Amino acid sequence: MTAPLPPLPRPPGPGEARTDITLATVGEPGALRADAARNRALLLDAASRLLAGCGPANLTMEAVATAAGVGKGTVFRRFKDRAGLLIALLDHREALLQAAFLSGPPPLGPDAPAAERLHAFGPALMRHERDHHELILASRNDPLRAYAVPAQRLRLSHVTLLLRQAGAAGDPELLGHTLLGSIDTPLVHHLTCERGRTIDQLEQGWHELLSRYGVPRCA
């Protein structure tokens, strides 16, 4: 059973401080002890080297244990299963994306208007996930797990907050789910690889959805 989503931030009222959304990892909650962090880094380094050579489809817990020089049980204790390992491998890549939309320059970062940030966010996320689609698709062995990981919660919170700030028409959280669903990795993979759509066309679809929700694209 997945954990409930944390409360979504509301736009600040008069005299209130601005709401901050903090960086969230893909699947590793909380801080690790120093020794646990070293072990995790060792295992992820070994997994990254194997990933470069064999691709995510052929990455196994046993191969990672052998490459790292540890027992297989160590890998399972750290990541629980293969999907957990693949999700952990996405952490670093996810951190770069999060830094861009939480604290980076415009149009993704906080110095741009909410509407402009929303229109920039979809294309940035789509291209990020396209670059790592094999790893992302390989980690999706549980369709509900994607909604529970901290990174997905952060994306939803971010989009929902921007929709509220931009004055979008409708329920911001439901609109956020719809927007993120429209560029989910399996769907983007299907549309580009099986249906002949281009990333530019899918980006245009993101902009059109936002416009229908009352968030027009800036000239």
User: Which residues, including other chains, have CB under 8 Å from residue 123's CB and lie 6 or more apart?
Assistant: 199, 203, 206
Q: What is the Cα–Cα distance from 151 to 27, expressed in whole angstroms?
A: 7
Which tokens sit at 138?
Answer: 């390989």
From first to last of its 219 residues, what are the pLDDT tens digits of the chain?
Answer: 333 333 333 434 434 333 445 545 555 545 567 777 788 888 988 888 888 788 777 789 999 999 999 999 999 999 888 888 888 887 777 888 999 999 999 999 999 999 999 999 999 999 988 888 877 777 777 777 778 878 889 999 999 999 999 999 999 999 999 999 999 988 999 999 999 999 999 999 999 999 999 999 976
Q: What is the CATH number that goes with domain 91-212?
A: 1.10.357
Q: Where are the alpha helices (DSSP H) in 69-184?
A: 72-79, 82-89, 91-103, 114-131, 133-138, 145-148, 150-165, 172-182
Phi, psi of 32 (to 5 degrees): -105, 150
Looking at residue 57, its pLDDT comes to 74
Tally of CB atoms within 10 A around 64:
27
Buried-exposed string 107-139: b where 16+ CB fall within 10 A, e elsewhere: bbeeebebbbbbbbbbbbbbebbbebbebbbbb
* Domain residue spans of the chain: 34-81, 91-212
**What is the fold, at CATH topology level, of the domain defined by 34-81?**
Arc Repressor Mutant, subunit A (1.10.10)
Looking at residue 16, its pLDDT comes to 38
Contact 91, 102 (CB under 8 A): no
Q: What is the Cα–Cα distance from 171 to 137, expressed in whole angstroms?
A: 29
Q: What is the Cα–Cα distance from 161 to 8, expressed in whole angstroms?
A: 8
